[in-house]
Structure 1
Amino acid sequence: MPFHLYFDESDLLRCRFALSPLWETQEAVRTLSRPGRHGYHLPWLRRIREDAAALDLEPLWRLMPEGGHNPDFVCPPPVGPFTTFEEEIAAVRAVDPLVARDDMARALADKPGSLDSPTGRRLLADPARAVQELADLLERAWQVLVEPHWPRLRALLEADIAYHSRRLAEVGFERLLGEISPQLRWSGSTLTVVGTRGDHTRVLGGQGLVLMPSVFVWPDVVGGYEPPWLPAVIYPARGIGGLWTESAERTPEALARLLGRARADVLCALDEPAGTSALAHRLSLAPSSVSAHLSVLRTAGLLTSRRYGHQVLYERTPLGIALTAQDP
């Protein structure tokens, strides 16, 4: 079912990218219950299986109907590009209970049997308490499912944003949308999101649009959010096929002999731009060691660096790309 977003000139000037730890948490919870999403994430599923089994996620799953309304208040679009989980969950706790009740009732009605289930009745009977219960559950899900892996996930999401920001400057908004996903179609001043949950239209009215890459949303593209929330489109991030692959396994032996194993691993890990902390987590190295290797590689002309928000991102130069493409 399509979702139509109607733009004017001021909306085009206010389109921006953002990432959301809370969104990734919500979608990680959803992924646990959707076998069709498991393909890319089997290594993650194996790592979190025992801890995830200790979570009672049923209240959240009740609010996640396939093809129906999903509550916007549980995961509102971030107001800034680098919003923290703590800031996002505080916004959830501050939601008006009456707004939350209407949101929950619509979601429960779209999932057969949920509206009259004990959980559904409990959530609707005391929406103020339900908001806090759901926020507590999301916080526990973040701590168990996402936070231990957040440096790796954030690196991929930030790399996606960096790449698509460059493409926006190079090819413009209309072509960028087609590159992000074939489910995004631009005609005149209207963006149509094909295959979304529900059938909606929204006039942006000068608010612009938030574009959010997501690790766990694959294979879906989600277009939505109704007032008072900012309009947003969430799409699968680039590179998720290699998300859980250890970069060291792809390091050519000849390159390791030339540069040294650790330095070659750092160079080969930069399939997408990444910062020091993300690389250290991915390679199980001390951040100080990774920083030293990055400095040497940059001085040698194999990397470039640029500041993005709160951190410095490194990416390979053409020479660095050529070296990593060598046969083992």
Structure 2
Amino acid sequence: MPLTLHLGADDLTRCRFAISPLCQTHEALRMLRRPARHGYHHAWLRRMGRTLKGLDLSPLWLFVPRPGGYTPDFLGPPPDEPYPTIDDELARMRATEPGLARAEMARSLSCTPGLAQSPQGRAALDDPAGTVRRLADLTELAWHALLAPDWPRHRAVLEADIAHRSRRAADVGLDALLTGLHPTVDWAGHTLTLHRYEDQAEAQRPDGRGILLMPSVFVWPDVVSGFARPWQPTVIYPARGMGRLHTAPVPRPPQALARLLGHQRAALLAGLTTPASTTELARRHTLARSTVSAHLTALREAGLLDARRQGYYVLYGRTALGDALTSGN
């Protein structure tokens, strides 16, 4: 039976996006529990196999059950702001109320027969505050091992997804935004329906606080929802362009240009054979949009780029000086 979320007028007017490093970390951990289903990330999975050999994440695996189980929501709660830092999110996780943490851990352990009565399960439930601290410390280790080195590229994909969907909502309307989240998501009669999703009586229902939409690199092929109270109702969906994240070649600018400008700025300048927007360049070069914006500003101030507005976008192109520098003349 599909999961249905009935959205009232207040929910629709409070519909928002966010990018959560903490949620991405736990989605990555969940994907490692089912690697056979994630062909888009074979290269990443092979690389992470070597990385994980030096990490003992067994207390975390206790609460990341196989598909069909429940992972405690406090491990990756919906963020309160659009672009939180990992440090802010870890601090929020460490501040989880022990009673809430225990209830969510007990629900997670119950998905595996006998696990709550095991020595590890009993120890976790007997000291929920201490367990939260240990899980937060392990999550921080997992973040640095699994995501931090590639985070600018991941964030660029997530920002590009949000920019695309925001433009689509502005151009066509909220209906097009919601129906375009995923092929298994339908929107009709104020009801968002998530097919291929088991209905859960305990799932959080929209109540006027709005619904949070979060793109994810690792959630494919699923769409995730159903956060329990007190968390805001959330839909986590696969980000556009994630399939190219680990396969797109890294641009190689001329060595002399890279020595002069730095590799990233040189790659941006050399790759601007035709004008492009900040969002497109972030996707193409797998960099954070903020990083690309800073580089473009520096190149423009140096007289190597100019900018012009076209509709909703600002397009950047090389000047004659930029062309001459790129060609070596």
Q: Same fold (TM over 0.5)?
A: yes
Match of 1:27 in 2: 27
Q: Percent identity?
A: 45
What pairs with 1:71-220 in structure 2 (closer than 5 Å)? Answer: 71-196=72-197, 199-200=200-201, 202-220=204-222
CA deviation string 1:65-124 (max 9, x = no partner): 322322111111000111111111111111111111110111111124422333222211
- Letter of the 2:207 partner, please give it: G
The more displaced of 187-196 and 272-281 is 272-281
Q: C-alpha displacement at 1:267, in angstroms?
A: 6.0
Q: Is the Cα contact below 8 Å between 1:93 and 1:131 reproduced in 2? A: yes
- Change in Cα spacing, 1:157 to 1:304, as seen in structure 2 (3 Å) is farther
Q: Is the Cα contact below 8 Å between 1:156 and 1:238 reproduced in 2? A: yes
Q: Is the Cα contact below 8 Å between 2:160 and 2:283 reproduced in 1? A: no
Q: List gaps (5 residues or longer) in structure 1.
A: 252-259, 307-312, 318-328
- Change in Cα spacing, 1:45 to 1:148, as seen in structure 2 (3 Å) is same
- Change in Cα spacing, 1:194 to 1:287, as seen in structure 2 (3 Å) is closer
- Change in Cα spacing, 1:300 to 1:7, as seen in structure 2 (3 Å) is closer
1:264 equivalent in alignment to 2:265: no
Q: List gaps (5 residues or longer) in structure 2.
A: 254-265, 318-329
CA deviation string 1:186-209 (max 9, x = no partner): 231221222235524544221000
- Change in Cα spacing, 1:124 to 1:280, as seen in structure 2 (3 Å) is closer
1:299 equivalent in alignment to 2:306: yes
Q: Is the Cα contact below 8 Å between 1:67 and 1:196 reproduced in 2? A: no
Match of 2:326 in 1: none
Q: Is the Cα contact below 8 Å between 1:219 and 1:236 reproduced in 2? A: yes
Match of 2:325 in 1: none
Distance in 1 between the 2:42 and 2:282 partners? 26
- Change in Cα spacing, 1:198 to 1:69, as seen in structure 2 (3 Å) is farther
Match of 2:12 in 1: 12
Distance in 2 between the 1:239 and 1:9 partners? 31
Distance in 2 between the 1:87 and 1:289 partners? 26
- Letter of the 1:77 partner, please give it: P
Q: Is the Cα contact below 8 Å between 2:106 and 2:116 reproduced in 1? A: yes
1:273 equivalent in alignment to 2:252: no
Q: Is the Cα contact below 8 Å between 1:280 and 1:286 reproduced in 2? A: no
CA deviation string 1:287-306 (max 9, x = no partner): 987655577775276x9798
Match of 2:260 in 1: none
Match of 2:321 in 1: none
1:239 equivalent in alignment to 2:241: yes
Secondary structure of the corresponding residue to residue 75 of structure 2: coil
Distance in 2 between the 1:97 and 1:243 partners? 38
Distance in 1 between the 2:292 and 2:159 partners? 21
CA deviation string 1:262-316 (max 9, x = no partner): 6333669x7981677994869xx99987655577775276x9798xxxxxx9767
Match of 1:61 in 2: 61
Secondary structure of the corresponding residue to residue 233 of structure 1: strand
- Letter of the 2:247 partner, please give it: T
Match of 2:227 in 1: 225
Give the length in aligned residue pairs: 300
Q: Is the Cα contact below 8 Å between 2:51 and 2:145 reproduced in 1? A: yes
- Letter of the 1:15 partner, please give it: C
Distance in 1 between the 2:227 and 2:166 partners? 23
- Change in Cα spacing, 1:314 to 1:212, as seen in structure 2 (3 Å) is farther
Secondary structure of the corresponding residue to residue 90 of structure 1: helix
Kindly report the root-mean-square deviation, in angstroms, between the aligned alpha carbons of the 2 structures: 3.4
Secondary structure of the corresponding residue to residue 213 of structure 2: strand
